[in-house]
Amino acid sequence: MSKRALVVFGGWKGHEPDLVAKLFESILKDYGFGVEMSETLDSLKDLEKLKQLNLIVPVWTMGSITGEQESALLKAVEAGVGIGGCHGGMCDSFRNNTGYQWMTGGQWVAHPGNDGTKYTVKITDPNHFITRGMSDFEVSSEQYYMHIDPAIKVQAVTRFPVADGPHSPNGPVDMPQVWTKYYGQGRVFYCALGHKADVLQKPEPKRICARGFLWAAKAEELAKD
């Protein structure tokens, strides 16, 4: 029986949610997933339906989520459904919902230098399924500074500051960019890259997302490399 995924996309258009969602749909279908695409958060309301999934992929920057929608989503992940996503589509989704943020493991707070910033993504856990065999790579995009859950397990980081700003006097820090965690029985995967769809189409971010989805869905056996 094939794995099943729900991709929910919308919110702020600047992150190209439709293009990112289509890319994620293509990745998942390439691994044999049955994929449902939804442009409404109401698709999160049916808890029993959600529990039949292997993976939920939110692509929804900012916006708001109702109590009913959030409750069903959190309960589904707690019951064992995986969740994975990237950039603001997962960790700048619902700024007023601390329960959602607790589940995802982090929340965006700044991107000093804005889009076009050049920085290095450093692989810190080369033995994890998601980053196995990968080397450090360069990116030219927004560099996300996050407030993070200390319980996350980090697979890759990026060094701040690259751009000068009010945080610079604190000195250099390594900010998690790829992480995993557990929420109840569910697996949570996040990648901070992905301001635009073209960033995710590059080999390294695309591979991270693909393997992150497989890990979150407990489908590592489907990996092709």
| Domains of the chain, each with CATH number or no CATH | 4-222 (3.40.50.880)
Q: Which residues of 159-177 are buried (b: 16+ CB within 10 A; e: fewer)?
A: ebbbeeeeeeeeeeeebbb
* Full pLDDT tens readout for the chain, 225 residues: 789 999 999 999 999 999 999 999 999 999 999 999 999 999 999 999 999 999 999 999 999 999 999 999 999 999 999 999 999 999 999 999 999 999 999 999 999 999 888 999 999 999 999 999 999 999 999 999 999 999 999 999 999 987 888 989 999 999 999 999 999 999 999 999 999 999 999 999 999 999 999 999 999 999 987
Task: Answer whether 178's CB lies under 8 Å from 71's CB.
Answer: no
The full length of the chain comes to 225
User: Each residue of 5-26: pLDDT tens digit?
Assistant: 999 999 999 999 999 999 999 9
- Tell me the chain's radius of gyration from C-alpha atoms: 16
CA angle at 7 for the pair 139 and 23, rounded to the nearest 5°: 40
Within 8 A by CB and 6+ apart from 153, the residues are 125, 128, 179, 180, 181
Alpha carbon separation from 26 to 37, 83, 98 (Å, rounded): 11, 17, 31
Q: Which two tokens stand for residue 15?
A: 């992150």
Task: Answer whether 170's CB lies under 8 Å from 123's CB.
Answer: no
Cβ neighbours around 125 below 10 Å, total: 18
Total-model pTM? 0.97
Helix axes 17-30, 203-216, angle to 10 degrees: 70
Sign for the pseudo-dihedral over CA of 208, 195, 37, 90: positive
Rounded distance between C-alpha atoms, residue 136 and residue 158, angstroms: 10
Alpha carbon separation from 192 to 102, 118, 156 (Å, rounded): 16, 15, 10
Whether the upstream peptide bond of residue 126 has omega within 30° of 0, thus cis, is: no
